[in-house]
Chains A and B, each alone.
Chain A
Amino acid sequence: MHGRIKVKTTAEQQETKRKEREKKLKLYNAATGKIFDKRKNKEFDDDLLALTGEVLAQNSDLYTLWNIRKETFLHMKEIKTKEEMEKICNEELYFLESCLKGNPKSYGTWHHRCFVLDNMANPDWKRELQLCNIFLEYDERNFHCWDYRRLVVKRSKVPIEEELEFTTNKIHSNFSNFSSWHYRSKLLPLIYPDPTNPVGVKEEILLKEFEAVQNAFFTDPDDQSAWFYHRWLLGRGRKKMVISCLYASRPQNRVIVSTSQPVLVGSNHQMEVYLKDVSIEGSWSNVAGNGSPYSRLWISFKFCLTG
């Protein structure tokens, strides 16, 4: 339960509420009872859509009812004409929109929308992008909607340059928009790849971003979004993989290797030590002794270093 303020109520108010809830509960039990019966009897019809719709409009987290709706759709797809199916799907999208207005953060509702569109012969993706615009207008941090938007963009091949433009506009209207900054960090390496670094962004673009983000935190120094983005723009240095220390002990027949980054040493990945071009036998264990195949410090006992 999130954001429900506890209010002091009189005994009379409580009694009214109790009666109201009792009535609601009866309706709910009757509806779910009927729904499960119909499913058992494989009656995947309009009536089942209506019944599940009534309950889901009240409580969109009832995942099993979304599943029953999906089963109904798949059944109808088999027996209805294309035109009939088109109409049913469009009605479903309309229904889903109203559910989302009631609860814009329901995993089940957003996923069901993907399911419906993926089952349509001619999905109208433009309309879906428009829907995302509306919901992001209403709550610019709704990550369900942002994720849905990325799906729409992928399915309908919206140019990612347009998406970058969208985040620019969002940030201009409100700097404090972590979701938009995040999206930029994903889009920039795709639009302006750095030829020298597979996950990087072109230097001149980074400089422009740097200027933009500075404007953001000059306007609002307390806003975290811009600072995290700033840190990302700056922090492109990567530690090179090097051997930082190698220790070999002849009396103890022991070699210890330390690296700047964890290395994988396991059944398919061996570390080899050469002495005067001759490979030396030995088995490695991770110094922490926790059996992990990754470590920055490997030790090998029983090395034969006398050769």
Chain B
Amino acid sequence: MGSPVKDVSIPENAPKTLLLQKHCDYIAAYGSKKDEYEYCMTEYLRMSGIYWGLTVMDLMGQLDKMNKQEVLDFVHQCQHECGGVGASIGHDPHLLYTLSAVQIVTLYDAQDTLDVEKLVQFVKDLQQEDGSFVGDKWGEVDTRFSFCAVACLALLGRLNEVNIDKAVDFILSCMNFDGGFGCRPGSESHSGQIYCCLGMLSIVGRLHHVNADMLGWWLCERQLPSGGLNGRPEKLPDVCYSWWVLASLKIIGKIHWIDKEKLVRFILACQDEETGGFADRPGDVVDPFHTLFGITGLSLLGEQILKPVNPVFCMPEETIRKAGIKLELLT
């Protein structure tokens, strides 16, 4: 009897090849529609939006289509006196957007756009007594913020500025019976959260704390008959989870535990032939967020036309290498 498996079916006429140029055009055009409703309504995450757009363009080899000076001017204007960066001009500083800003200036090899000393101090001040990080002065704690803090500092070469041992202890206090991680101690495992915790442990070289076999099992069970991956048991598949889950599997050396061909088919089916871009599921409306994670997923799965993506920073591998960052990955 049992409950039916939650999944989607892929329509016969869904795209089966990578529509590279359409995606480039879609992303390039997105930023030029600044007066449009959709664009204005997402102002509260603009900094991340720009990072998504630039990263996906770079992976597709077309970063030069983006307006570098305009972007860097914008990033500069979003940094506050306290050192933190807001999502947009006039929006409050937060770790999420601070990481996006650091990723952007690293992509452009222009870290001097930001006041790095102040930024490091901002990140440092957000670490709590128990090793956790709050996202901003209002005190929300989340393992996502631990990743943001450590990733920021690693990109700036300043990891030694925070208490790594305590930061690791906090991450480990969020580990669950299934080997995964949640937002806070006691929270249920979630693929996005697992990615952040593994990424954090990878940056600081402490992946041996992870039970890779158990977690790998939970992660590879995210694949559904359609080929797509979901974020938690009994949920629908979604292109962004093809990234969170796949990158996590890559970090713990188990990417071969999923069916690559089926996942590629699912990701390709989420493209929109008319507009370019990827949606969360076949037939849904596209957006830059899922476009990035569609492309990064394909890159991790070995699509040759794309630049290799780094599984921890979600940036081109060559950028991370140039920055001289060493990561731990399990084999």
Which residues on A are within 8 Å of B, measured CB to CB? Answer: 1-6, 21-22, 24-25, 28-29, 36, 59, 61-64, 67, 70, 107, 111, 115, 141, 143, 146-147, 150, 176, 178-179, 182-183, 185-186, 219-225, 228-229, 231-232, 235, 262, 290-294, 296
Tell me whether A294 and B206 are in contact in the complex, defined as CB-CB below 8 angstroms, given that A146-B188, A178-B234 are known contacts.
yes
Residues of B with C-beta under 8 A to A296: 208
A228 near B218 with CB under 8 A, answer yes
B140 near A107 with CB under 8 A, answer yes
Q: How far is the CB of B121 from chain A (nearest CB, A)?
A: 20
Q: How far is the CB of B209 from chain A (nearest CB, A)?
A: 8
Residue of A nearest to B274 (CB): A6
Q: How far is the CB of B56 from chain A (nearest CB, A)?
A: 16
- Residue tally, chain B, CB below 8 Å to A: 55
Q: How far is the CB of B221 from chain A (nearest CB, A)?
A: 6
Roughly how many angstroms separate A231 CA and B214 CA in the complex, as a whole number?
9
Contact of A3 among B90, B189, B214, B280 (CB under 8 A): B280
Contact of A59 among B41, B86, B87, B328 (CB under 8 A): B41
Roughly how many angstroms separate A152 CA and B140 CA in the complex, as a whole number?
15
B214 near A1 with CB under 8 A, answer no
> Interface SS of chain B: helix, strand, loop or mixed?
loop
Residues of A with C-beta under 8 A to B221: 224
Q: Does B17 contact A (CB under 8 A)?
A: no
Tell me whether A25 and B40 are in contact in the complex, defined as CB-CB below 8 angstroms, given that A3-B284, A178-B188, A185-B177 are known contacts.
yes
Residue of B nearest to A175 (CB): B3
Contact of B138 among A36, A70, A179, A186 (CB under 8 A): A70
Contact of A6 among B189, B217, B284 (CB under 8 A): B284
A143 near B37 with CB under 8 A, answer no
Roughly how many angstroms separate A290 CA and B204 CA in the complex, as a whole number?
11
Roughly how many angstroms separate A32 CA and B283 CA in the complex, as a whole number?
33
Contact of B208 among A36, A221, A262 (CB under 8 A): A262
Roughly how many angstroms separate A296 CA and B87 CA in the complex, as a whole number?
43
Residue of A nearest to B182 (CB): A143
Q: How far is the CB of B270 from chain A (nearest CB, A)?
A: 11
Residue of A nearest to B137 (CB): A67
Roughly how many angstroms separate A25 CA and B42 CA in the complex, as a whole number?
12
A143 near B186 with CB under 8 A, answer no
Q: Does B25 contact A (CB under 8 A)?
A: no
Roughly how many angstroms separate A296 CA and B330 CA in the complex, as a whole number?
13
Tell me whether A147 and B184 are in contact in the complex, defined as CB-CB below 8 angstroms, given that A5-B284, A222-B2, A223-B2 are known contacts.
yes
A141 near B235 with CB under 8 A, answer yes
B183 near A143 with CB under 8 A, answer yes
Q: How far is the CB of A224 from chain B (nearest CB, A)?
A: 4
Residue of B nearest to A294 (CB): B208
Roughly how many angstroms separate A293 CA and B207 CA in the complex, as a whole number?
12
Q: Does B113 contact A (CB under 8 A)?
A: no
Roughly how many angstroms separate A179 CA and B235 CA in the complex, as a whole number?
12
A6 near B183 with CB under 8 A, answer no
Roughly how many angstroms separate A44 CA and B187 CA in the complex, as a whole number?
35
* Residue in A1, A146, A225 whose Cβ sees the most chain B Cβ within 10 Å: A1
